[in-house]
Amino acid sequence: MPPRHFLTLADIDAETLESLLRRAAELRALHHDGSLHEPLRGRVLGMIFEKSSTRTRVSFEAGMAQLGGSALFLSPRDTQLGRGEPIEDTARVLSGMVDAVMIRTFDHSTVERFAGASSVPVINGLTDDHHPCQLLADLQTWQAHRGELQGRTVTWMGDGNNMCRSWMQAAEMMDFRLAIGAPSAYAPEDLADYPNSRHETDPQAAVEGADLVVTDVWASMGMEDERQTRLEDFAAYQVNEALMAAAGEQALFMHCLPAHRGEEVTADVIDGPRSVVWEEAENRLHAQKALLEWLVTPRR
């Protein structure tokens, strides 16, 4: 039986997504109760990092430990990938030694090629095109505060990056509306493929009626040379108190972190009462534990 992979949200169906979110909530409750739950005892997760990380590394490593397994951190300096070994060769070797592989890298084709040659599940910890693990945590956090997303409105404030694309996929799977607030030059190129998503150049129009406002840094890793231009282009799209007021009194705020206060978000919003950012960050742990359970334990 071929392994299950999690490279984008589209790799699972809506029923599986809902099941993972329910399980993540259960695992969070078990963790907070101090209950021991070790279904992955003796299992090993290989973690390949070509991009630096705080939340991705700690959540996967701690998650495997709490599930009774272990995790191996592998940077380009630690593997032959950094010396030019073909991705497929590394995939074949590692999948004979570990039970799953998580990859955090730049080019999405890297995880696709790795998964194509792997005999164990492969998880996308982040690529330039998708960030599905973050969406699991975001959706779990939303449900804990507001219940179902169906029929709701989410505003993504920022460029059509990996987070935006994962939110676009989520909107189709969970049947909510996504408004993308960004200058025309930064809108997702494949927007037409996602009928539940729309683009707005006017930031006020983008947040009108929003139940949730989400943003990210304006210049991600690898875009350092674009930083100044992006600061100027996105100045009007900062999530501040005025923008949150336009969204409505019940709107929540999320950010995948790290955040640059005073740029994409102001301190009074991210540290304010409508921010669920810290719970969102913790839920990376619980959502990924649910994912690891589903991917690694034997299928029935």
State the catalytic residues.
104, 131, 134, 216, 256, 284
User: Rounded CA gap, 48 and 74, in Å?
Assistant: 5
Residues 6+ apart with CB under 8 A from 28: 140, 282, 283, 286
Question: Across the strands, what pairs with 47?
Answer: 73, 102
Q: Is the previous residue joined to 2 through a cis bond, with omega within 30 degrees of 0?
A: no
Token pair recorded at residue 66: 């709490």
- Round to whole Å and give the CA distance between 289 and 24: 7
Contact assessment for residue 93 and residue 117, using Cβ atoms and an 8 Å cutoff: no
Torsion sign over Cα 66, 71, 75, 81: negative
Of 161, 202, 145, 150, nearest to 179 by C-alpha is 202
Residue ranges of E strands in the chain? 44-49, 70-74, 100-104, 122-126, 153-157, 177-181, 197-200, 212-215, 252-255
Token readout for 56 is: 């991705």
Are the C-beta atoms of 237 and 182 separated by less than 8 Å?
yes
